[in-house]
Amino acid sequence: MGSLFHNTSFPILSFLLLLPLSLCCRQSHRMRLHSMPQLVSIVVAALAVALLTTTTIVNADANANVDHASGSGKVNAGFFAGYAVESVKITPTGLTGTLVLPAGSTGPYGNDSVRLNWLVEFQTQQRLHVKITDAAVARWEVPFVVDDPQSDHHPTQADDQHMSMKHKKSNGFVYRDYLDADGREKKANAPADHLTAAAGSSNGFDFEFSYTTSPFGFAVVRQSTGDVLFNSTPSTADQDFNGLTFENMYLEMSTRLPDQPNIYGLGERVHQFRLDPTGKTYTIFARDQGTPYDDGLAPGKNLYGSHPFYLEMRNGLAHGVFNLNSNAQDVVIDNNLLTYKIVGGVFDMYFVLGPEPESVVQQYHELIGKPTMIPYWGLGFHQCRWGYQNISVVEEVVRQYRVNQLPLDTMWNDIDYMDKYFDFTFDPVNFPTSQMQQFVANLTSTNQHYMMIVDAGIPIQSGYPAYDQGIAQNVFIGDPNVNAPALGSVWPGAVHFPDWLAANSSSWWVNNLRDFHTNSAAFSGVWLDMNEMSNFCDGDCNRTTTPSIVPPYWPGQTDIQVKTMSMDARHVGTTEFNAHSLFGFLETRATNQFLTQVLQRRPVIISRSTFPGHGRFGGHWLGDNTATWDDLTYSISGVFDFQLFGIPLVGADICGFNGDTTEELCTRWMQLGTLYPFSRNHNTIGARPQEPYAFGPTLLNASRIALNLRYSLLPYYYTIFHRMSIVGGSLFRPLMFEWPMDSTLLEIDHQFLIGAGLLASPVLTQGATSVSAYFPAAVWYDFYNGAPLGNANSGSWVTLDAPIDKIPLSIRGGHIIPMQNPNGALTTADTRTQPYQLLVALDANNTALGYLYWDEGDGVSTEALGHYTILEFQAQPTDSGAQLTSTLATPLYAPLVLSKFSSVTVYGVSSASTVAVNGSPSLTFSYNASSKTLVVSELSLSLGQPFTILWQ
């Protein structure tokens, strides 16, 4: 690091600041710091000396000033150096101290905090925490994300907090990724020399932390490479960005970036997956404004969710940065700088070191909470639209699905079902309660489910139970000027909005859901909409005075209370200014409480607004998109984003919500959308119908093929969901996650992986009947016929045929995919009664690995009761051929023995003249020497019994 520092005395300072601190923290993991008084004395003395030294980090490539032009009332338009270190104290896990504003210094807008507290925690081998707060005033800090009593989520308090994510277990079981020819686990996602270097680092951590004293700044360095991942110290010589800024309603911090940085995340927005780094501003603040493409220019195109997390790729290695802050903010990327501009709260920053992209995602999810395990039916197909005007229309949709042999698990209703748009009601004319009860009962009898929309606003009407109870229990957001609830307006007219920070708001919500479920319709899941929260007024509808909270800087160069509540509306303990972006997250959290604690079922909750930690409780859909080819394409990046954000149950409205779709567009969207984690066809009132049977034979036949493909792959999807519930991670995955060293993949967002084993290359262009697809260096096969694809030694482009009834899908060598052909079944429950199949794709070493997670499909105590089994499948070479084995990786759950394997297909078999199943010759196999495909059929092997299939 010496070359990064301008001060020639840095090598000594580096020793004083880095090595003693690292050794101290390393010993603290072993609880031995108290036995090292000499070391502690040396460290404290070294820090005292260091406080007298000023060191400046410089970067010759960064020479542009940050633009604050969108603010108002600026008092200092020039360079602001920020704070200086006043004190430092070593702690068992890092350090604490204070920062002070030099006399006479003024930040961009004034009202600077004079003294700050700062905290550094070495939390795990790959995670560092840096927090900066006001020393004199308790400012707003986000609750329930990294410490949540409802979900027992306390990642910084766990006994095994220093354990690498790749070692995390569930009841003693560990999912593995790959096998080499000898059956040993192989890590394929990162260079081996890097992993060795990190594991052998001198301080036990993958990172080093350093800071400068005046002006204050800090740096996070990847220890194995010396790469500076975050560096906030301003240069007093270059004055290219401000130092730490901490004002009443304005915070600013910058870090240096390499040329053309590869940054992903910072949602929610519609965009290409890789963020444009050339003078762009990305606003983060929950907002209802449709789904415009975000060009990074004012006004801000921020959407429903608020996710201040980004993943950056550098030279094949990944790291992530999360700033736990719910206030409105801009993240500006320009001139080799990334700058946070935030209008409240504190800096509460977490750095995760990966180094593989998937490891970064897992480490982030370990912090904010791993995704919830969903019920099996949640992965089935869903149908909805705004404009099903009565129950007869809804019943006919369900009937048409069945008549046309189209799988359908869940039927939904938009706001049409409500009485005057009141939550927890049915329209007595168009959706009579008795008919709805019978309809839901009929769905249940055919193993189908019902979900309905619930909006955020509670209508103001005496005699309406949700309103009366809410008033009595004081659960609504308060007016800032009078002792009464704040007034909003949405579909039913005048409304109040729940304050999810009120102690009894969750129980009030749960009781209303319980009453509706018991007395009206036994719904299986809940759809939460308008929960940014969306308001038909700009601020309080009763407002006659100027809001008391007006920040000097407007993120997105837009009044942040447009189409929502006034920023000074009262929550318990804070204001809307601070809590706004948490509404959807906390509403989902309360809804999850009803489903998991009252119904004792796993949650399917689809919410429009989200925040970090949301995936612990529910899923998301990408909002009010439009029936265009661009929206089809951008949906892939949207799903990618929410894999990063820890909300893997996500999808776009298939065929488009707004506007009229076409048969070709809807056909291609059905093919892509049936591979989303959450798969739902949905459109708006007044648009032409777009159910899979609504156009003609082209859409109908292609949809039937696509839906049967989805349902056959659900054992694979479900297994990945279980894995994510244990260790976090992604399902719908960018290619770069598996080949981070291949720079071609950094901008590819028109293809995607399903897990690590399947590669989809959808048609995204009107009129196209072929796709130019990139195949990273690996053994690849056509999923449908086993034809070899790509180049095992280098990445290559291949043109794939894609007629109107086909989505190109490929399988990666080294993977085994458990499948279950529906065989005419039209629900997940009925599909699960069918036999299983295995699709085996051998790699260059004739090996492959796969898993099947099997349980009852629902229930919140599955693992605690041991009501599940995990099977591990391995293909390996033998002296005379190769073999496939199935073994129980966890104890047997008895009902599993009733399920059978009916066939095994193996791609990449060099020869097979004989086949033996559990030692007995098989007469029901075929081998195609041209395609090198072996098919062993007419099996009846119990999933509950180990087996071996040998070919030679």
Q: What is the pLDDT of residues 591-602, one digit of tens each?
A: 999 999 999 999
Q: Please, is 106 exposed, middle or buried when counting C-beta atoms within 10 Å of its C-beta (0-12, 13-18, 19+)? A: middle
- Does the CA dihedral 689-691-697-703 come out positive or negative? positive
Q: How many CA atoms lie within 13 A of 789 on its CB side?
A: 29
> Dihedral of CA 330/331/335/337: which sign?
positive
pLDDT at residue 413, rounded to an integer? 98
Residues acting as catalytic residues: 529, 532, 624
pLDDT tens digits for range 878-924: 999 999 999 999 999 999 999 999 999 999 999 999 999 999 999 99
12-21, 671-680, 691-700, 932-941: segment of lowest average pLDDT: 12-21
Is the pLDDT assigned to residue 609 strictly greater than 90?
Answer: yes
Length of the chain: 952
Residue 771 vs residue 148, higher pLDDT: 771
> CB under 8 Å to 264, separation ≥6 — which residues?
273, 274, 275, 310, 311, 312, 313, 640, 641, 644, 734
Q: For the residues 355-359, what does the mean pLDDT come to?
A: 98
Q: Quick one: 426 exposed, middle or buried, by C-beta within 10 A (0-12, 13-18, 19+)? A: buried
- Write the burial class of residue 54 (CB in 10 Å: 0-12 exposed, 13-18 middle, 19+ buried): middle
CATH number at residue 340: 2.60.40.1760
Question: Is residue 760 within 8 Å of 809, Cβ to Cβ?
Answer: yes
For residues 32-54, average pLDDT: 30
Q: Looking at the domain assignment, is residue 755 inside a domain?
A: no
DSSP string, 774-817: EE-SS-EEETTT--EES-SSS-EEEEEE--TT---EEEETTEEE
Give the DSSP letter of residue 598.
Answer: I
**Rg of the chain taking only CA atoms, in angstroms:** 28
Q: In this model, does residue 60 exceed pLDDT 80?
A: no
Q: Is 839 exposed, middle or buried (0-12, 13-18, 19+ CB in 10 A)?
A: buried
**Domain end call among 556, 577, 608:** 608
Same domain, 128 and 268: yes
Q: Say how far apart CA 952 and CA 947 lie, in whole Å.
A: 17
Residue in the block written with tokens 């409500």: 418
Give how far the C-alpha of residue 645 lies from the chain's centroid of Cα atoms, to the nearest Å.
Answer: 3
Res 25 pLDDT > 90 = no
Average pLDDT, the chain: 89
53: exposed, middle or buried (C-beta count within 10 Å: 0-12, 13-18, 19+)?
Answer: middle
Instruction: Of 762, 763, 756, give the one whose Cα is nearest residue 780.
Output: 756
Residue 448 lies in a domain: no
What does the pLDDT read at residue 544?
A: 83
Pull the structure tokens for residue 363.
């480490």
pLDDT of residue 168: 39
The tens digit of pLDDT for each residue in 762-797 reads 999 999 999 999 999 999 999 999 999 999 999 999
Whether 40 shows a pLDDT value over 60: the answer reads no
3-state secondary structure of 837: strand
What is the reported pLDDT for 72? Answer: 54
CATH at residue 905: 2.60.40.1180
User: Residue holding tokens 């001139």?
Assistant: 335
- Helix (H) / strand (E) containing 361: helix 357-368
Type of residue at 112: D
Our CA angle for 247, 249, 253, nearest 5°, is 55
CA 112 to chain CA centroid, Å, is 35
Looking at residue 610, what is its pLDDT?
Answer: 98
Residue 204, CA distances (Å) to 162, 411, 489, 892 in order = 10, 52, 55, 39
Which tokens hold the place of 859? 């229930």
116: nearest Cα among 95, 138, 139, 133? 133
For the cut 50, the answer to whether the pLDDT of residue 43 exceeds it is no
Q: Going by C-beta distance under 8 Å and a sequence separation of 6 or more, which residues neighbour residue 97?
A: 85, 86, 87, 88, 89, 117, 118
Task: Please indicate, yes or no, whether residues 461 and 351 belong to a single structural domain of this protein.
Answer: no
Distance CA 882, CA 796 (A): 29
Structural contact between residues 877 and 837, judged by C-beta atoms closer than 8 angstroms: no
Q: What CATH number did the domain enclosing 485 receive?
A: 3.20.20.80
Check whether the bond before 803 is cis (ω within 30° of 0).
no
* Nearest Cα residue to 621 out of 599, 646, 649, 595: 649
- Which residues, including other chains, have CB under 8 Å from residue 819's CB and lie 6 or more apart? 712, 713, 715, 716, 836, 837, 838, 839
Burial class (CB in 10 A: 0-12, 13-18, 19+), 195: middle
| Average pLDDT of span 166-186 | 55
Give 3-state DSSP helix, strand, coil % of the chain, rounded to 5.
Answer: 25, 30, 50
Alpha-carbon distance of 427 to 404, in angstroms, equals 30
Choosing from 355, 376, 393, the residue where a domain stops is 355
Tell me 237's DSSP state.
Answer: T
Per-residue model confidence (pLDDT) at position 204: 81
Q: Provide the domain count of the chain.
A: 3
Does a structural domain hold residue 65? no
Alpha-helix residue ranges (DSSP H) falling in 474-567? 505-519
**Count of alpha carbons within 13 angstroms of residue 235, beta-carbon side:** 20
Owning domain of residue 890: 835-951
pLDDT at 545 over 90: no
Instruction: State whether 224 and 341 are in the same domain.
Output: yes
Is residue 659's pLDDT more than 70? yes
Burial class (CB in 10 A: 0-12, 13-18, 19+), 236: middle
| Average pLDDT score over residue span 690-714 | 98
Nearest Cα to Cα of residue 896 among 927, 861, 854: 854
Say whether pLDDT at 312 is over 70.
yes
752 contacts 636 by C-beta, under 8 angstroms: yes
- Widest pairwise Cα distance in the chain: 90
Which residues partner with 773 through β-bridges? 798
What is the C-alpha separation between 648 and 379, in angstroms, rounded? Answer: 12
Q: Tell me what pLDDT residue 528 has.
A: 98
**pLDDT-based confidence at 173, cuts 50/70/90?**
confident
Is 209 among the domain residues? Answer: yes
pLDDT at 11: 28
pLDDT by residue (tens digit) across 73-107? 788 889 999 999 999 999 999 999 999 999 999 99
Residue 171's pLDDT is 60
As a whole-number percent, the residues of the chain with pLDDT over 70 amount to 88
Residue found under tokens 């199935």: 886
Question: Model confidence at 754, in pLDDT bands (50, 70, 90)?
Answer: very high
Is pLDDT above 50 for 64?
no
For residue 651, being part of any structural domain is answered with no
The answer to the question of residue 251 being in a domain is yes
How confident is the model at residue 157, as a pLDDT? Answer: 60
761 has pLDDT over 80:
yes
Contact between 633 and 673 (Cβ < 8 Å): no
- Cβ–Cβ under 8 Å, residues 653 and 680: yes
Q: Is residue 180 part of a domain?
A: no
What would the DSSP string read from start to end of 666-678? Answer: HHHHHHHHTTSSS
pLDDT one-digit tens code per residue, 454-483: 999 999 999 999 999 999 999 999 999 999
d(CA 909, CA 840): 10
In a domain, 624, yes or no: no
Q: Name the domain boundary from 331, 355, 379.
A: 355
